[in-house]
Amino acid sequence: MQELQGRLATCEDQLQVTRTKTFSDQTKHKHQAASLSESMRKLQSQLEQTRSLLDTVQQQREMLKNDNQDLRSELDTMYKQRANGGL
């Protein structure tokens, strides 16, 4: 009978250790999940900012392209006028 009580006490101790470890692991995993969630939120924000910046750069590039075309056209007109004796 004492042997069974000893084995029971050992099993109960092991159960308590296992429960404590399980709780600790769950807590650790919850913190990791929260950290990952925060990292994903930050990365999503950075992605949105990057997309916005890219859109701005593309718009500016298009405006510069149009300005360049306008200036080339104006310059061509001036050369033609000079070549034809104008100005």
pTM of the model: 0.60
Measured CA to CA in angstroms, residue 81 lies from 67, 73, 78, 84 at distances of 21, 12, 5, 5
Q: Which has the higher per-residue pLDDT, 47 or 2? A: 47
Over pLDDT 70: what percentage of the chain?
98
Average pLDDT over residues 47-73: 98
Q: What is the pLDDT of residue 15?
A: 94
Give residue 37's domain range: 1-87
What is the tally of structural domains in the chain? 1
Residue 1 pLDDT level (bands cut at 50, 70, 90): confident
Nearest to 43 by CA among 5, 64, 35, 22: 35
Distance CA 52, CA 12 (A): 60
77: tokens are 């007109």
